Amino acid sequence: MSKLFVTKRPPIGQLLIYATALIFSLIVVVQSSKMDDGNISLNLNHIILFTINYLIWALLVPYLYGALVDVFDHSPRPSGILFFVFRIVALIFLHFVLSNLLYYATLILISGYSWHNFVADMQMVYLRAVLSRAVDVAVIVGLLKVIENFQSLSASKLQLSELEKQLSQSELTALKAQLNPHFLFNSLHALHSLIGYDDEKAKSMTIKISNLLRKNLDQSGKHLITLEEELAYLKDYMDIELERFHDRLTIQIDSDNQAKQELVPNMLLQPLVENAFKHGISLIEGNSKITLSAANMEDGLEIIITNTVPAQNQDKSSAPSMGIGLNNVKHRMKQVYADQFKFDVCQTSKEFSVRLLIPKKSTL
């Protein structure tokens, strides 16, 4: 018998099952109490009958679900299906016995009903009562399977979403790992060029590189930081480059206070400015300029970085190039913002500019 009546925790809580049973019994009572003229005349016998009927079904739901899980979790062989049917029939019979015993015992206690009436009633309604319970079982088992499938689908979607998030975070980390060694190489190269030529500047640059690397480590676990934090980091980087180009380079940064509070990917701007130095400023012998502006626009946070173009690249007919640094930045933005961002490059005869438009933190 222990094999026959196996319980399994249903996909919804038992208290919710009892509450649903009470609500459903109330609906059936109201429906069965409607008169031909549309009025409702509640019948005490109906209230007792349907309340007991559905509460006992609520009590037996774990047994029904146990039978359901057992047949679906194993290969549905003919013997397994037959045993499943046998268990369902046994539960229908158990419900029939329990519900009628409780129903007629209640009637005997409150209305003077006799056991002779019970026997007469059983002879009249036995077949119809069994068929009604078979329909109840079909509905309950069907609902349990639908709820189970829905929860399984929701769990699968949640798991897939979590895996996609982990993959996205891994890709962002990999892209940042590509940028850090590149930046370090350029900084050390700048430091090397000063050693023996201007030792004081070399010492100053060593301290700035150390501070910059410390900030980078402090922010290594963050994928999104405020623009204010990003600009502070960028200023340290620019200070290092200014040690090399201070006599022929002008840097201008404009950003309103509201824009500084918006979130941006960590180390988003440094590779863009590095690109300006590598392909622009370092190739210019005369005066040059880098400008950075950030402002809150209606459709997002707009950041524009512009640098002077070297004479050999001042050809309007050539299309702006997208190197590794720019492509990495674009790829990172796609990982964070999907298609909700803009990344545009533009070159004129004298300037190269990169324009970013990213969602504000309130829309993330």
Considering only residues 219 and 308, tell me which one the structure prediction assigns the higher pLDDT: 308
Least confident among 5-9, 172-176, 346-350: 172-176
Chain segment 73-83, per-residue pLDDT in tens = 655 567 777 88
pLDDT band (50, 70, 90) for residue 246: confident
Question: Residue 1: its pLDDT value, please?
Answer: 41
Question: Residue 2: its pLDDT value, please?
Answer: 43
- Please state the rounded mean pLDDT for residues 294-323: 78
Cβ within 8 Å of residue 244, ≥6 positions away? 190, 193, 194
Considering only residues 295 and 240, tell me which one the structure prediction assigns the higher pLDDT: 295
Distances (CA, A) of 193 to 9, 182, 271: 72, 17, 21
pLDDT at residue 319 greater than cutoff 70: no
Question: Residue 164: its pLDDT value, please?
Answer: 63
Long-range contacts of residues 26-33, Cβ cutoff 8 Å, at least 24 apart: 28/54
- Please state the rounded mean pLDDT for residues 324-348: 85
281: its two tokens: 């400023």
Cβ within 8 Å of residue 257, ≥6 positions away? none
pLDDT at residue 207 greater than cutoff 60: yes
Cβ within 8 Å of residue 149, ≥6 positions away? none
Please state, in angstroms and rounded to a whole number, the distance separating the CA atoms of residues 197 and 56: 93
Cβ within 8 Å of residue 354, ≥6 positions away? 272, 275, 304, 305, 306, 326, 343, 344, 345
pLDDT band (50, 70, 90) for residue 317: very low
* pLDDT-above-70 percentage for the chain: 78
Q: Which amino acid is at 77?
A: R
Question: Residue 127: its pLDDT value, please?
Answer: 79
Least confident among 11-20, 202-211, 321-330: 321-330
Q: Where are the domains of the chain?
A: 14-158, 195-363
Chain segment 136-181, per-residue pLDDT in tens = 888 888 888 888 888 888 877 776 676 566 555 555 555 455 545 6
Distances (CA, A) of 361 to 228, 229, 259, 260, 299: 14, 15, 10, 11, 12
Please state, in angstroms and rounded to a whole number, the distance separating the CA atoms of residues 348 and 315: 8
- Please state the rounded mean pLDDT for residues 261-270: 87
Task: Specify the CATH superfamily of domain 195-363.
Answer: Histidine kinase-like ATPase, C-terminal domain (3.30.565.10)
Residue keyed to tokens 């158990």: 94
- Please state the rounded mean pLDDT for residues 109-129: 71
Angle between helix 115-194 and helix 78-111 axes, rounded to 10 deg: 120
* pLDDT-above-90 percentage for the chain: 14
- Please state the rounded mean pLDDT for residues 198-225: 75
Contact 175, 331 (CB under 8 A): yes
Please state, in angstroms and rounded to a whole number, the distance separating the CA atoms of residues 320 and 166: 34
